[in-house]
Structure 1
């Protein structure tokens, strides 16, 4: 079976800490062995001197030989442990390097994924991410009998801003609007840039139509605050269409289309927002 390089990276990050601990313990043992070897060498020198000055007793000679043999083995063990420790140090360095490489790869993956799923101008989720969350929301709503809403928002007369003041001013307006939408988005909801000056809002946790009304009015109020751009102040007015699941559709495509149609109804009547299949709200 082929080795999995990713598995090796993961194992490396998990094992780096224990290896450091093993290396530290081995260094301690190595120091003890070296101390023991030095002490044995010192004892053996004394014994050799004593042995040279006395009659050569066989028992003493045998003891000295054994002691010198132990000294050699202790020194050999210390040398082998040094080799092992060097290998451990190399392994720790390699694992730290792999850990760093893995962190870099993860950052690059996250950055690539973010770019793929977010609008480059506003930083909002793009159409693909919005549709994914809407599909997930529909599954949950169907399973639990929940209600959710899709809001389709368009900025009134935005083309005039681009034509009169240039795309730089238009882009600045879109960024300001996006920031205001983010500031007025609830935790479980999703707001996205659908394209151009169109935005989509997914309202997932609602008990009745009034919840959507409150959010729509809050968004309109926030966006209509004058925008400070390079040419001075601009007042932007949005039009919002609202579709409700399951009343106005049971698929992501149907709900988005219903909300889009309702948005044009709100734009024509200058009412601010309108519900799919219903009458526009009173002008605000």
Structure 2
């Protein structure tokens, strides 16, 4: 009897070892696939995000803007582009150094993101300039857009404490609107960007005039 059991065990042992090895290889392969998937997600996120602030970068934003304009052409939706520029960022950068400047930019991105609706898109296009995309099926009134602008300005103007020093920033903001049928003077993305930029500079000039008057 014991000899028979020994024979059976001897016959089954290689099979058991094989099952264990296969199971181990399966677990290892599954872990490797999980790692590769995570790395793929991480790489995608890095490719979409601004290195300093973590919000969307210019490349992704321009793709989204292109898509919003195409939707407007097909469905008659409205596209609003908000240009946000930090007025006295250079002064802070020059006075306190680039570490302070970088800290301010990260803080401003967070502040702006906190007052950005989930359906809208915020990005940093470089330096101290940010853009917001509002893609809407309906037209927004001037009053509604002014509420958005004032909300953004209020978020920007909350001081940042850098090494026990209160740093205050102001923002100039302008916006432009696009609808394939209703805004014939704005024919494409470049026109929309230029118009938002012009409106931002008008706001900057108004602020300067108020300060000198």
TM range (shorter): 0.7 to 0.9
Aligned CA RMSD, in angstroms, stands at 2.3
TM-score, scaled relative to structure 1: 0.64
Q: Unaligned 5+ residue runs, structure 2?
A: 209-213
| Counterpart residue number, 2:211 | none
Greater Rg, structure 1 or structure 2?
1
Pick from 3, 11, 19 the counterpart of residue 88 of structure 1.
Answer: 19
Q: Unaligned 5+ residue runs, structure 1?
A: 1-40, 43-70, 272-284
Which aligned pairs between 1:140-219 and structure 2 lie closer than 5 A? Answer: 140-205=71-136, 207-210=139-142, 211-219=144-152
| Higher share of residues assigned helix | 1
Structure 1 residue matching 2:69: 3-state secondary structure: helix
TM-score, scaled relative to structure 2: 0.84
Higher relative contact order (CA 8 A, sep 6+): 2
The alpha-carbon distance between structure 1 residues 157 and 92, as it changes in their structure 2 partners (threshold 3 A), is same
| Distance (Å, rounded) in 1 between the aligned partners of 2:127 and 2:70 | 29
The alpha-carbon distance between structure 1 residues 77 and 204, as it changes in their structure 2 partners (threshold 3 A), is farther
Q: Deviations over 1:61-102 (max 9, x none)?
A: xxxxxxxxxx96x98776555433332221221111111111
Residue 128 of structure 1 deviates from its aligned partner by 0.6
**Residue 241 in structure 1 maps to residue 178 in structure 2:** no
| Distance (Å, rounded) in 2 between the aligned partners of 1:161 and 1:177 | 13
| Counterpart residue number, 2:65 | 134
Does structure 2 conserve the Cα–Cα contact (< 8 Å) formed by 1:138 and 1:250?
no
The alpha-carbon distance between structure 1 residues 103 and 249, as it changes in their structure 2 partners (threshold 3 A), is farther
